[in-house]
Amino acid sequence: MGDVELVNVERGDLDAYVATMRRLFGQPVNAGHAHLKDVLDRSTLARIDGEDVGTAAVIDFQLTVPGGGRIKMDGVTIVVVSPVARRRGVLTAMMDRLLVDARERGAAVLGLGATESSIYRRFGYGIASYSGTAEIETAHAAMRVPIVAPGRLRALSVDQALPVWLDVESRETRVGTIDRKPATWRRLSSPTEPDDAKGVLQVVVHEDDAGVVDGFVNYRQEARWKDEVADWAAHVVEFGALTRDAHLALWQHVLELDLCEQLIMDRFWLDDPVQHLLADPRRLKVIPRDDLHLRVVDPVAVLQARRYSREGTVVIEVRDRTCADIEGRYRLDGGLDGALAARTDAPANIVLDGPSLGSLTLGDVSVAALHAAGLVEETRAGAVQQASAMFAWQPRPLLTYMF
């Protein structure tokens, strides 16, 4: 039984690499993956005795943190291990390689979306944000007060939409947002199957009174017929708005689509203001779920990049069994105007592990909640309450795209 060999995949071999990944997942290569090779920045192939048994890849991102700053994130994607190579150290070898590479390249964090939420904590990843799946019957989607938003809506073709998507995303400051390459947008706008029942991608943008685009919504319409009566569903693929006017106008548009009796959104922002505007808010069914998992690589960079809701000083001791280099105590002086962080020999006020530090990065998970779960130890009276007030952030984050 051979050892795990890790191979860095060359650019010219990415077509075969994508095919291997899809085979290990038990899925065919289809039109929706035509642009995948153009999205990946670094790709790793795991082999045992010459057989391909695992894949993992990284996409370079800038992740927005509380206060609007951005940190360098290695986005981990297409991680899969062959079912005949389980419990042979393949996943551990790949995750260790990704961590080493991130440290060498100066990434502040590694981030991923977990297909199974039980897998990645042992590699140092903590749940840093949540999103939701939302559904509503449009017949029950009336607003308490009709929305009258200035500006206008305009439909675009997918070919026209690319510069708009890139521009709006570049101006987005909401916590959890990331920057995407044109190839990523092209991949997202491609149908996953030739006969996709959800229909072609529709793009509608909102322009303010000056004609500047400040929001867009991408959706597909699934044509369904029940007893010869239209019972269509609108599937919102992505919703990006920079202003309240754009946000509300675009919501009103998708809730009033002709023939559509249901609206479904797979990435619903848990702080979306539409929840407070519906006349019958209970009709909006939202199921929260874990979203972005973060593994802190550089605690000083992470702690200094973000802002804090309350001025204060706290000494944090980090314990990390999978990355001893980040273990130690860190003094944090932070507030709304900035933050300083550095290693220190001072006594700790709170003690936590690496995954818990990842969970606190975006402000969606509280120090108090982790303390109640036994994942944060308080070594100075009142430190948990103080740290909770500092790390909390509103509104809640949303990772706009799960890579």
Over the stretch 200-241, which tens digit does the pLDDT of each residue have?
Answer: 999 999 999 999 999 999 999 999 988 888 889 999 999 999
115 is annotated as contributing to ligand binding:
yes
pLDDT mean over 336-362? 98
Q: Within a domain: residue 275? A: yes
- What pLDDT is stored for residue 2 in this prediction? 73
Helix (H, G, I), strand (E, B) or coil at 191: coil
CA torsion sign for 23, 26, 30, 33 is negative
Nearest to 136 by CA among 226, 224, 291, 256: 256
Percent of the chain residues topping a pLDDT of 70 = 97
Nearest to 36 by CA among 64, 55, 62: 55
Q: How far apart are CA 330 and CA 399, in angstroms?
A: 27
For strand 312-319 and strand 350-353, is the pairing parallel, antiparallel, or unpaired? parallel
Output b/e per residue, 193-231; b: 16+ Cβ within 10 A.
eeebebbebbbbbbbbeeeebbbbbbbbbbeeeeeeeee
Q: How far apart are CA 3 and CA 90, in angstroms?
A: 9
* Lowest pLDDT segment from 10-14, 114-118, 185-189, 352-356: 185-189
Q: Within a domain: residue 20? A: yes
175 is annotated as contributing to ligand binding:
no
Is residue 78 within 8 A of residue 44, CB to CB? The reply is no
Question: Given a cut of 90, is residue 351 above it in pLDDT?
Answer: yes
138 is annotated as contributing to ligand binding:
no
Question: Given a cut of 60, is residue 393 above it in pLDDT?
Answer: yes
Q: Which of 17, 61, 120, 216 is catalytic?
A: 120
Asked if 136 and 274 sit in the same domain, the reply is yes
pLDDT band at 62 (very low <50, low <70, confident <90, very high): very high
Question: Given a cut of 60, is residue 192 above it in pLDDT?
Answer: no
- What pLDDT is stored for residue 228 in this prediction? 85
pLDDT band at 147 (very low <50, low <70, confident <90, very high): confident
Residue 123 designated active-site: no
Tokens of 143: 């607003």
Residue type, 302: V
**Given the structure tokens 């936590």, which residue do they identify?**
352
What are the φ/ψ torsions at residue 183 (nearest 5 degrees)?
A: -65, -35
Asked if 329 and 263 sit in the same domain, the reply is no
What are the φ/ψ torsions at residue 385 (nearest 5 degrees)?
A: -65, -45
Tokens of 300: 């000083």
26 is annotated as contributing to ligand binding:
no
- What pLDDT is stored for residue 193 in this prediction? 52
CATH at residue 280: 3.40.630.30
**Residue 244 DSSP class:** H
Tokens of 298: 């550089």
Residue 308 designated active-site: no
pLDDT mean over 57-64? 97
Asked if 303 and 283 sit in the same domain, the reply is no
What are the φ/ψ torsions at residue 242 (nearest 5 degrees)?
A: -100, -15
Q: Within a domain: residue 372? A: yes
80 is annotated as contributing to ligand binding:
yes
pLDDT mean over 164-187? 93
Strands (E), 247-326: 260-268, 285-290, 292-296, 312-319
pLDDT mean over 75-83? 96
Helix (H, G, I), strand (E, B) or coil at 362: coil
Question: Given a cut of 80, is residue 190 above it in pLDDT?
Answer: no
Question: Given a cut of 90, is residue 52 above it in pLDDT?
Answer: yes
58 is annotated as contributing to ligand binding:
no
Q: How far is CA 181 from its chain centroid?
A: 15
Percent of the chain residues topping a pLDDT of 90 = 82
Asked if 141 and 280 sit in the same domain, the reply is yes
In angstroms, the Cα distances linking 189 to 219, 234, 243 are 10, 16, 24
Asked if 270 and 302 sit in the same domain, the reply is no
- What pLDDT is stored for residue 196 in this prediction? 64
Q: Within a domain: residue 116? A: no
pLDDT mean over 323-333? 95
- What pLDDT is stored for residue 38 in this prediction? 86
87 is annotated as contributing to ligand binding:
yes
CATH at residue 357: 3.30.1050.10
Asked if 214 and 277 sit in the same domain, the reply is yes
Is residue 14 within 8 A of residue 41, CB to CB? The reply is no
Asked if 274 and 153 sit in the same domain, the reply is yes
pLDDT, tens digit, 9 for 90 and up, residues 11-37:
889 988 998 999 998 888 776 566 788
Average pLDDT over the chain reads 94
Q: Which of 123, 125, 308, 403 is catalytic?
A: 403
For strand 70-81 and strand 109-113, is the pairing parallel, antiparallel, or unpaired? parallel
pLDDT mean over 384-398? 98
Asked if 331 and 189 sit in the same domain, the reply is no
Question: Given a cut of 70, is residue 369 above it in pLDDT?
Answer: yes
Q: Within a domain: residue 117? A: no
Residue 168: its H or E element: helix 158-171
Q: Within a domain: residue 266? A: yes
Length of the chain (residues)? 403
pLDDT mean over 172-197? 81
- What pLDDT is stored for residue 382 in this prediction? 97
* Lowest pLDDT segment from 153-162, 227-236, 246-255: 227-236
Burial (CB count <10 Å: 0-12, 13-18, 19+), residue 38? middle
- What pLDDT is stored for residue 199 in this prediction? 87
Which of 242, 270, 288 corresponds to the end of one domain?
Answer: 288
Q: Within a domain: residue 121? A: no
Q: Within a domain: residue 21? A: yes
Asked if 354 and 206 sit in the same domain, the reply is no
CA torsion sign for 316, 328, 296, 301 is positive
Question: Given a cut of 70, is residue 1 above it in pLDDT?
Answer: no
Q: What is the pTM of this model?
A: 0.94
Q: How far apart are CA 255 and CA 38, in angstroms?
A: 35
pLDDT band at 175 (very low <50, low <70, confident <90, very high): very high
Tokens of 145: 């007060």
Residue 187: its H or E element: helix 182-188
Which of 251, 266, 288 corresponds to the end of one domain?
Answer: 288
Cis ω on the peptide bond leading into residue 397 (within 30° of 0)?
Answer: no
Is residue 245 within 8 A of residue 254, CB to CB? The reply is no
| 244 CB-near residues (< 8 Å, 6+ apart) | 273
Asked if 18 and 57 sit in the same domain, the reply is yes
* Lowest pLDDT segment from 21-30, 32-41, 90-99, 191-200: 191-200
- What pLDDT is stored for residue 31 in this prediction? 61
| Domain around 41 | 4-107
Q: How far apart are CA 125 and CA 312, in angstroms?
A: 26
- What pLDDT is stored for residue 65 in this prediction? 98
Asked if 86 and 204 sit in the same domain, the reply is no
- What pLDDT is stored for residue 32 in this prediction? 58
pLDDT band at 51 (very low <50, low <70, confident <90, very high): very high
- Structural domains counted in the chain: 3
Question: Given a cut of 70, is residue 249 above it in pLDDT?
Answer: yes
**Given the structure tokens 């990645």, which residue do they identify?**
120
Query: Taking the CB of residue 365, how many other CB atoms lie within 10 A of it?
Result: 22
Asked if 253 and 332 sit in the same domain, the reply is no
Which of 90, 107, 124 corresponds to the end of one domain?
Answer: 107
**Residue 178 DSSP class:** B
